[in-house]
Amino acid sequence: MTSNRSASTELTRNRPSRHRRDLLAANKFKNRVIRGSLNLGFTNGAAGTPIVYDMEGYTDNGTCQTAAKSFMLGWVDQLAVAPAKVAGVYGSSCNSYLNGLATIARPPKFIWAANWDGNPSTSALSCVSGANWSNHQRLKPYQGDHNDTWGGATLNIDSNCANGPMAPTGALSSTSVCN
């Protein structure tokens, strides 16, 4: 029979590190999200449809960035399974650390980077290198909450400019005025 101390040491030794547990949790969450998209009716007719993951801002530390990158790689890989969709990510251009996602093995096909600078150009994104997602792969909310009137109805909206994939085909727009 072992003492409590030995048993405790053995349990600690066999338990995955905190970093490994974070990655495992990110992977399980990714799998639930993908299964959920299938429950929404994404079938073979949805091939090529852009699907965007909303990545909220997070603390800038190695553990969070590693888990976010691992999750996003799984997201991209799972959406590539038939019927393949176009994987994208939405988030603050700075606080979601979108630029870091360009370094993963298979980055998202496009970004939807919130950057409320009043400039509709998708080329001008704070914290995102101009070299990343530069081939008509960017969408940009450039003006936050404001009232706009359409057809006599006033709505409180964000203004966006699209220079990237649009539903339903997922084709990358090459004629956008948002460059």
pLDDT-wise least confident of 13-17, 66-70, 88-92, 167-171: 13-17
Burial annotation 22-41 (CB, 10 A radius, 16+ → b, else e): bbeebeeebeebbeeeeeee
For residue 30, the model assigns a pLDDT of 65
The domain segmentation of the chain, as residue ranges, is 15-163
- pTM, rounded to two decimals: 0.75
CATH number of 15-163: 3.20.20
CA atoms of 127 and 115, how far apart (whole Å):
10
- Asked if residue 63 has pLDDT above 80, the reply is yes
120 closest CA partner among 136, 143, 89, 145: 143
Mean pLDDT of 124-152: 94
In sequence order, the β-bridge partners of residue 112 are 90, 139
With pLDDT > 70 as the criterion, what percentage of the chain qualifies? 70
Burial annotation 129-161 (CB, 10 A radius, 16+ → b, else e): eeebbeebbbbbbbbeeeeeeeeeeeeeeeeeb
**Positive or negative, the Cα torsion across 153, 154, 155, 161?**
positive
